[in-house]
Amino acid sequence: MKTIEDFNFEDKKALIRVDFNVPLDQDFNVTDTNRIEAAKPTIIKILEDGGSAVLMSHLGRPKGQRNTDMSLKHICETVSEIIGVQLKFAEDCVGEAAEKAASELQNGEVLLLENLRFHSEEESGDEAFAEALSKLGDIYVNDAFGTAHRAHASTTIVAKYFSENKCFGNLLAKEIMAIEKVMRTGEKPVTAILGGAKVSSKITIIENILDKVDHLIIGGGMTYTFVKAQGGKIGDSICEDDKMDLAINILSKAKAKGVQVHLPVDVIAADAFSADANTKIIAVDEIPDGWQGLDAGPATLDNFREVIQDSKTILWNGPVGVFEMEKFSKGTIAVGEFIEEATKNGSFSLVGGGDSVAAVKQFGFQDKVSYVSTGGGAMLESLEGKTLPGIAAILGS
């Protein structure tokens, strides 16, 4: 696996695919700079080597049309401040303006190209468009994990015009290594904690990780399909009746593979899906009609804690309750605390994919776990065992 550390960028122009798809307010101010900060180490390494950087990204969904609201020009000042270099800007990402700006770029300078998605050829993975992009740099660096699952021109197709001169940026390399640790090289016992609303959205992940984990903790809304399938009473809890056979199948596969499955034993049940509902603690398989399970109960959390404490490698995907409502957020916060404790004791912990990342940020755990993934869809596809085209394009020569 080639990374920026394998190259000396002196006198070289790096064409870097970054993910600057950041949120903007009404006045076009950047309201969350995380993605820009995440790309900084790669850009700095290239400049410190004595090279220059041409940055390309998408912003929003302009669908192939030029749209000034989604111009990357709006973020130039913010990026300049964060990187510590005054950015140059090219009004288009291909063609004469881009080529002229790139050719005039001096070592130590950074050029930001206009939104890639102003051209429909970006998302269609058009070869001629990718070739036009490739003219703007000597070495291609992909540092955008968030789009690595898309075979777009700038994330995948462009790589083939660089022969050996292509590599992963610092951020993308970190993402790949974190996934590798959980899926292949992590110290045992390996535990996956899967929560969220539905079995159907997690099924491919569950099937893929059964070969890789020692413990599988199931929480959140998914729980009730498993409990009902085993004959439990779940009241009005969320359930996918058509996935009950699948749930039984998962449990028997897990048993055959020697994976220990831990389901909730008790829950915080509510008499409505509402922040001011009445609540009671109740056994997970004895929920009366009119009540629904919305968070993990105390005995459940004790069990989860024991498993997580003993784990050396931990993956967390999906909240174990309706964490958006304070009343049902305690289980998810507790799981965060257990992972924090295990991480302090030397375990590796990865949080990735969708709402668990939102929960981890909301409750301030992002610096207390080993790694929080920056890519929702890309992380989910990795956990499903898919090869991401953006990663394959760098690995293949």
Residues with a catalytic annotation lie at 35, 198, 354, 377
CB closer to ligand AMP out of 160 and 198: 198
Count of H-run helices and E-run strands, the chain: 14, 17
Minimum distance from CB of 152 to ligand AMP (Å)?
A: 24
Minimum distance from CB of 354 to ligand AMP (Å)?
A: 4
Measured CA to CA, the distance from residue 292 to residue 317 in angstroms comes to: 22
CB closer to ligand AMP out of 327 and 368: 327
User: Which residue sits closest to ligand AMP, CB atoms considered?
Assistant: 196
My answer on whether omega of the bond before 189 falls inside 30° of 0, hence cis, is yes
Residue at 192: amino acid letter? A
The structure tokens listed for 239 are 């359930």
CB closer to ligand AMP out of 62 and 352: 352
List interacting residues with ligand AMP (CB under 6 A): 195-198, 201, 220-221, 238, 293-294, 318-319, 321-322, 324, 354-355
The structure tokens listed for 330 are 């305690």
Minimum distance from CB of 195 to ligand AMP (Å)?
A: 6
CB closer to ligand AMP out of 123 and 355: 355
Measured CA to CA, the distance from residue 255 to residue 197 in angstroms comes to: 24
CB closer to ligand AMP out of 132 and 192: 192
Angle at 271 between CA 268 and CA 277, to 5 degrees: 80
Minimum distance from CB of 233 to ligand AMP (Å)?
A: 15
235: left (phi over 0), alpha (psi -120 to 50) or beta: left
- Please identify which residue in the block is written with the tokens 């051209």: 119
Minimum distance from CB of 293 to ligand AMP (Å)?
A: 5
Measured CA to CA, the distance from residue 3 to residue 87 in angstroms comes to: 24
Look at the chain and count its residues: 397
Residue 267, strand partner residues: 282, 296
